[in-house]
Amino acid sequence: MSVYDFTVKNASGGDVSMSEFAGKVLLIVNTASKCGNTPQYEGLEKLQQQYADQGFSVIGFPCNQFGSQEPGSNEDIQEFCSINYHTTFPVMAKIDVNGTDADPLYRYMKKEQRGADGSTIEWNFAKFLIDRDGNVVKRYIPKAQPEDVAPDIEALLV
């Protein structure tokens, strides 16, 4: 099993097979628009711009489970990301990352790479690094800055 075995929803509600990203290095991040970590969008977009041509993509999954810091609709979120951070990476539909309604992709990634709180996502902007084969190779705490992840991305892009 790998992340490529899952299907997620895009911001318009359409199905996206994660197999569309097969062969790429991915950084999967649960995001929020009204969080102290929200400025990380800028660093995530820098990673996207820096490494996209080498087979890399950030994928954002908005989540409102932490302090209700992502209250908007999927359309609102897309507009926010575009206007404020000029994001070019995919920002999918809003999901739950913890609890009984947690998205299956997140349940899988949390099982593969447990964090400081076990399998629970701690807060907005937790990050999972995925290799080209769809394996979850590393998990980063929400406060980890995107630029700090760059060396690990580079190592997988070789």
C-alpha 150/C-alpha 11 separation (Å) is 27
* Three-class SS state of 80: helix
Contact criterion met (CB below 8 Å) for 35 and 43? no
Fold designation for 3-157: Glutaredoxin (3.40.30)
User: Would residue 35 show up in a list of annotated catalytic residues for this protein?
Assistant: yes
pLDDT at 119: 83
Ordered by start, the domain boundaries in the chain are: 3-157
pLDDT at 113: 94
For residue 40, give the nearest of 85, 4, 94 by alpha carbon: 85
Label residues 22-47 b or e (16+ Cβ within 10 Å = b): eebbbbbbbbbbebebbebbebbbeb
pLDDT at 82: 96
pLDDT at 145: 98
- Pick the catalytic residue from 3, 8, 28, 35: 35
pTM above 0.75, yes or no: yes
Give me the average pLDDT of each 10-residue run along the chain (158 residues).
97 97 98 97 98 98 97 97 97 98 97 85 97 98 97 97
